[in-house]
Structure 1
Amino acid sequence: MSKFTRMKKITSIILIALIVLLAACGGGDKTSGDSEGSSDEPIKIGALYPFTGDLALLGQESFRGVELAVEEINANGGINGRQIEIVKGDAVDPDAAQSEANRLINQENISMIVGSYSSGISFAASEVAERNGALYWELGAVADNITDRGYKSILRTNPPASKFSAVHINFIKNVVTEKLGKGLNELKVAIAHEDSSYGTTIANEAVKLAEEEGINIVSVQTYASGSNDLSSVILNIKKEEPDVLIVVSYINDAIILSRQMNELSVDVPVFIGSGGGHTMVDFQKAVGELAENVLNVDFPQYEINREATPGMDEFIGAYKEKYGNEPSSGHSVTNYMGMKVVLDVLKETGGDLDPEKVREAAMNYKAEKGTTATGWGVEFDPETGQNIASEPYVTQWIDGKLLTVYPEEVAIEEPRINE
């Protein structure tokens, strides 16, 4: 064999090897713009919730909404034939939220996360998403500062705490004054709240809005949500003899507050909770008749005008079939609605998880009020990523059921006020 022939043979072998190597590197049929895997691989989305620890009760209830929305779309073929796969992270507190968000993004190679129920968890996890170029969807935490930082890495489907406060004040202004026969400047309003960002944000905003309306805030009592004795808070409230008490509590402190108010013979004509513990079935079971007539400003609950919340019955049916019982709070349907928005937006990107493309699609996504299971519309503020078409409603425990009483378009019962 000549030298020229040998060189030609070696060159051919090298070319064949290069072709094989290039084919191995680029052989997957990838969806356009999707760097996460081939077209038949699942679309992986992170889910950060407190699955264990003190916040697990509502953390797990919130995640169930996400889980049901994902199962629904997967049963219908997924997105472009690809199934949605949820990768869970157990965020028991803000520190765990940071480490779990880092794990999901940098070890699991996930570029989009949903969460999280708790404002402290959401704030911490979304900071990690911002630093790492990932996208964070908040479906349940309410603190305003989550979306007030100007980040382009966060989108929130549920209303912020300031809207809870606005509903508190609007309800007092439009309903309570008439029921009690008093003017706004005659009312005495007290506030008691747990001291996390959840309670503090709602309380501070309520004080600000009340002052703008000329409502007299006679007392603001702050306490740690883990407290086992709230008697000093209650006695300070009793001393002021308020007409209205606004309370922001988680489940355990909500129960303690109701029981100790009864023990100390403190009866306020209008008691308004702010979601958290006061809308949970477990609260009513724990305190029994003490829950009667307690009002709540919160996410949509299940005794609500069905004409304004299409899809609510289907959600409840799917929940009962999977988990064997009724939903324990509105957190599950709120996260279900939010996750359906996430998945609708992903349909617009064809399953592409590129954060910039997903955010752009979200900005173009619109839904009218009265067209979702929560009754909310969808329109994202391009500056903050906040859904400005979502709002809390007022419910009330009446005859052992939590009925929607305000505003009129979603109400099924008139609010009952102790005159």
Structure 2
Amino acid sequence: MNQSTKPTGKITKIVIGIIIAAIAIGGIWYGINKNRQVAPGEIKIGAILPMTGDLANFGNDISKGMNLFAEQHPDLKLVIENDEGDPKKSISAMKKLSSIDGIHYFYGPFGPVAAEAVYSAQSESEKGLFTFVAMSMCTDQFKNYENMICNYPTPYYQLKESYKHPKTLGKTSFYVITSNDAFGESILQMMGDVAKELELNLLGSEKVNASDMDFSISVRKIIQTNPEFIVVATMDQPANIRIIKNLKEAEYKGMIYDGGDFEEKMVKEFQGVLEGVYLTGQPKLDYSSDFSSLYSQKYGEGKPSVYTAYGYVWADILYNLAKSHPKDQFTIQDMMDYVNSHPNDLAISGLNYDQTKREIEFPMQVFVVENGELKSVFVSSEE
């Protein structure tokens, strides 16, 4: 769930065209059925999920969790809109949920660009009609949005918590390899700030073209600076793997951190390259026994994904807040208060919002690849 790897400084500019393109479509919903009817005793919440398209695996996992919660609460009506991962369709879904379905609270959309698109497409009057939880990292600009809250920490928080690991081992000097683009600029700025806060020594950085097939020249230059660890952090995981391969071929003896998204099947596929490499950017989330049992009964053996757990958690939060506010719209503050007052009652335990920063916080963990398996070696709350 490492959404931290996407730059956000230009989100607002990106969505201007999306909003213009979507407003004619989405606008047909606004103003229709202004006197929305809700069945007596019925609690309605919605979701905007990518149920088809490139992001469908995330949407389907989230819907599993939300539907699992809904099955336990017959008074809950859950309406899921498929935006196919398209921000223009996210806007249309928002208009429909609010104006046609009469839903005041919804989960989604997925990712920072779609979240910004939905928020920016609202009229001032619509901001008073509903509250939504973006499935996104919490960028600085999002913290000021009055009816939207995020469910994932800022990129800076994730980096800061993850790179406490080498500090605990007495390793402080490092080099960063990232991509020669806006993402790389964002990573370098944040890693510089992390280095200052954690008192690490950033020796330098190398920007590369992620499409290159060989990085041996850059790697040899970096090794000459004798860093105790190297952070490989492009947005392209295959490029990260090629860089790591070159580092090992050059017989680099220090620690290597891969900051890209990863899955167990990737670790298996590239075991020879990734053996001994540290993988960052993953949350440490503990599931309640009740949730795990319900999941097992419904879907069989296996551990639920973090997206399924999040779907269940936010269906729970939105349902209970809607039930306790039958005549008025609950606020972002109400949501943060609810999460912080139920640390052990939700499907994911230990969630907490820093209410001053309006940012959710949870432990981040670091894995090392050992004999082709992922082994957790560090949890930020336990250092």
Q: TM-score, normalized by length of structure 2?
A: 0.71
Q: Distance between the aligned counterparts of 2:381 and 2:196, measured in 1? A: 28
Letter of the 1:333 counterpart? V
Deviation at 1:402, TM superposition (A): 1.9
Deviation readout 1:145-189 (Å, 9 max, x if unpaired): 3534x111221222221112212342222x221xx6xxxxxx421
Aligned: 1:102 with 2:91: yes
Alignment partner for residue 361 of structure 1, among 334, 342, 346?
Answer: 334
**Which position in structure 2 is the counterpart of 1:210?**
195
Q: Distance between the aligned counterparts of 2:250 and 2:230, measured in 1? A: 15
**Which position in structure 2 is the counterpart of 1:300?**
283
Matches within 5 A, 1:9-408: 35=36, 37-39=38-40, 43-49=44-50, 51-52=52-53, 56=54, 59-78=55-74, 81-91=75-85, 96-97=86-87, 99-109=88-98, 111-115=104-108, 118-128=111-121, 132-133=126-127, 134-139=130-135, 141-142=136-137, 144-148=139-143, 150-173=144-167, 175-177=168-170, 187-194=172-179, 201-223=186-208, 227-229=211-213, 231=215, 234-248=219-233, 249-262=235-248, 264-265=249-250, 267-274=252-259, 276-278=260-262, 280-300=263-283, 309-311=286-288, 314-315=291-292, 318=295, 322=299, 332-333=305-306, 336-337=309-310, 339-350=312-323, 356-365=329-338, 366-367=340-341, 374-379=348-353, 381=355, 385-387=358-360, 389-407=361-379
Contact kept, 8 Å, 2:138 with 2:152, in 1: the verdict is: no
Letter of the 1:43 counterpart? K
| Corresponding residue SS for 1:349 | helix
Q: Distance between the aligned counterparts of 1:251 and 1:391, measured in 2? A: 23
Contact kept, 8 Å, 2:368 with 2:375, in 1: the verdict is: yes
C-alpha distance 123-102 of structure 1, shift in aligned 2 (>3 A): closer
Contact kept, 8 Å, 1:143 with 1:160, in 2: the verdict is: yes
Contact kept, 8 Å, 1:46 with 1:87, in 2: the verdict is: yes
**Root-mean-square deviation over aligned CA pairs:** 4.0
Q: Distance between the aligned counterparts of 2:121 and 2:241, measured in 1? A: 35
Instruction: Count matched residues.
Output: 340
C-alpha distance 245-36 of structure 1, shift in aligned 2 (>3 A): farther
| Corresponding residue SS for 2:169 | helix
**Unaligned segments of structure 1, at least 5 residues:** 1-33, 181-186, 302-307, 412-419
| Corresponding residue SS for 1:379 | strand
Q: Distance between the aligned counterparts of 2:158 and 2:83, measured in 1? A: 28
Greater fraction of residues in strand: 2
Deviation readout 1:215-244 (Å, 9 max, x if unpaired): 22122234566x253626545533433211
C-alpha distance 394-67 of structure 1, shift in aligned 2 (>3 A): same
Deviation at 1:350, TM superposition (A): 1.3
Letter of the 2:166 counterpart? I
Q: TM-score, normalized by length of structure 1?
A: 0.66
C-alpha distance 90-348 of structure 1, shift in aligned 2 (>3 A): same
Letter of the 1:166 counterpart? K
Q: Distance between the aligned counterparts of 1:345 and 1:212, measured in 2? A: 36
Deviation at 1:319, TM superposition (A): 7.4
**Unaligned segments of structure 2, at least 5 residues:** 1-34
Deviation at 1:357, TM superposition (A): 1.4
